[in-house]
Amino acid sequence: MFYRGPSDRARAPSARGDCAAGFRGNAGFDGTLNTRRVTRWEPLVTPDPTAPLVDPIARAETAVIGGSGLYELIDPSGAVTHQVPTPYGTVPVTIGLRAGRRVAFLPRHGSGHSVAPHLINYRANIWALASIGVRAIISSSAVGGVTPEYPPGLLVVTDQFIDRTSGRPDTFYDRESVQHLSAADPFDPALRGYAVRALDGLGENFASTGTVVVIQGPRFSTRAESVWFRSIGAHIVNMTAYPEIVLAGELNMGTVNLSFVTDADAGLAPEPGSTTSETDAVTASAVFRRLRDAQPRILAAIDGILRALPTDFAPRELIDPVQVDAVLARAVLSEIA
């Protein structure tokens, strides 16, 4: 379903199948980093979000993971960046106010796009967010469109993925216990609903569903791959949705993905019987130029979603909370002298 604003809602042409602070676990928290996170949540009185941040590491229950082109989100004058130790390495996480709530932010590619998609330390990033109490994640992504119904300039609230990556560590349960994540609906349905309503209220041009095929990168697709992706039901393509989404699910955090279509991947081959010629193939310079131009829209969309999230949001428990607690109780590796 595509929405083009609150007054003009139309079904898409046929396309192929592609929290604020104030909760604590039953063991309690003191507002600082704890390597054990209890995942059974009891609502408390929501504190003033403008209250001073707690040292050494403040908590936040909502996080934004910035994709390509989004390396800063929070006003530096009111933000604190913490080096969060994890069993997989140290992760810089910035905590501050955005859209009226306390938010944790990390750019998955590092500052200035310094980490290639296949080298991102996904487990460290997700473990770090879970360790400071995050329950809801808004992830942003740049994607290519592989069907005509997902053209450049469209925002997409992704609902499915197809994994075409290789060699990426993609589970926390590789020792001590084996856990089988239910991945039928990988992106949190409730969070997706809040995002759709927020974008609808903004009058945005967006698709409320989309299947992303995740490639290894850092290269872009060949034309043959792009055509094949469309034939197997994908709508968009990117390099980072996997394993980020499943790792968050393994720690019982909900994720909603907001993707921005920057290009037509390797160039859309014409549909059978069509006289439309191929479009230009994607280049990195074109992607970053379009992301810069779209930055106000993307930030407004993220702000709208942040405002739409209820303070009492409770994520799905896809994994036994006892097993999640065991993962978060693992010893950390600190890179800080």
Helices marked H in the chain: 122-131, 189-201, 223-231, 241-250, 284-308, 321-328
Is 141 one of the annotated binding-site residues?
yes
The angle, 0 to 180 degrees and rounded to 10, between the axes of the packed helices 321-328 and 122-131 is 110
Is 265 one of the annotated binding-site residues?
yes
Calculate the CA 16 to chain-centre distance: 23
Calculate the CA 164 to chain-centre distance: 18
Is 253 one of the annotated binding-site residues?
no
Q: Are 211 and 231 in contact (CB under 8 A)?
A: no
Q: Which of 163, 188, 200, 263 is catalytic?
A: 263
Is 263 one of the annotated binding-site residues?
yes
> In the chain, how long is the greatest CA-to-CA distance?
64
Q: Which of 265, 280, 303, 312 is catalytic?
A: 265
Q: How long, in residues, is the chain? A: 337
Is 109 one of the annotated binding-site residues?
yes
3-class state of residue 140 by DSSP: strand
Interstrand relation of 254-263 and 211-215 (parallel, antiparallel or unpaired):
unpaired
Is there a catalytic annotation at residue 325? no
Is there a catalytic annotation at residue 265? yes
Is 185 one of the annotated binding-site residues?
no
**Dist. CA 54–CA 158, nearest whole Å:** 34
Is 188 one of the annotated binding-site residues?
no
Active site residues: 263, 265
Residue numbering of the annotated binding site for phosphate: 68, 108-109, 141-142, 240
Residue numbering of the annotated binding site for substrate: 239, 263-265
